């Protein structure tokens, strides 16, 4: 793994749920910042939260040590707690239902396995600069759909 840590702030947004959605990520490495964003016309907030993290991780060369911050407990708990049981049960929940967004969870797992990721939850809309910028990028992803 790389010696220098990468910091990622990732967020998703949706106008309506489902509805048009956007994802955004702020990546800091070696004192440099990179911003990523995009959107989809018909999606959900949870899918955009996942996509923000996926796109950020996939943009980096393998072997990075990453502190990843998200205001989505769905993403943070999903990757640090729930995924192990889902996989053990063949991508089923504890009540034997199919895991929602399994396509993105599997893509996220693959992207995360290429790195050493520490998953952190941060309270959304609480004035945290990195999270606020990721939120703005996610909304920019939606705005670009409407342009």
Task: Report the catalytic residues.
Answer: 11-12, 49, 71, 125, 135
Backbone angles phi, psi at 31, to 5 degrees: 75, 5
Residue 6, SS3 per DSSP: strand
Element (DSSP H or E) covering residue 118: strand 116-121
- Assess contact for 137 and 97: CB atoms under 8 A: no
Element (DSSP H or E) covering residue 40: strand 32-43
Residue 92 DSSP one-character state: B
Measure the CA–CA gap between 20 and 16, rounded to whole angstroms: 7
Residue recorded with tokens 């809309």:
125
Nearest Cα residue to 68 out of 81, 86, 56: 56
């Amino acid at each position: 793994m790389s010696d220098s840590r990468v910091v990622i702030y990732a967020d998703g947004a949706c106008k309506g749920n489902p509805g048009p959605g956007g994802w955004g990520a702020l990546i800091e490495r070696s004192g440099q910042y990179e911003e990523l964003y995009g959107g989809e016309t018909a999606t959900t907030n949870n899918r955009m939260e996942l996509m923000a993290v996926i796109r950020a991780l996939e943009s980096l060369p393998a072997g990075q040590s990453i502190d990843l911050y998200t205001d989505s407990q769905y993403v943070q708990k999903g990757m640090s707690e729930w995924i192990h049981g889902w996989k053990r049960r063949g991508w089923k929940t504890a009540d034997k239902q199919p895991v929602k967004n399994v396509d993105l969870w599997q893509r996220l797992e693959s992207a995360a396995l290429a790195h050493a990721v520490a998953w952190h939850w941060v309270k959304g809309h609480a004035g945290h600069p990195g999270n606020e910028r990721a939120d703005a990028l996610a909304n920019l992803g939606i705005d670009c759909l409407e342009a």
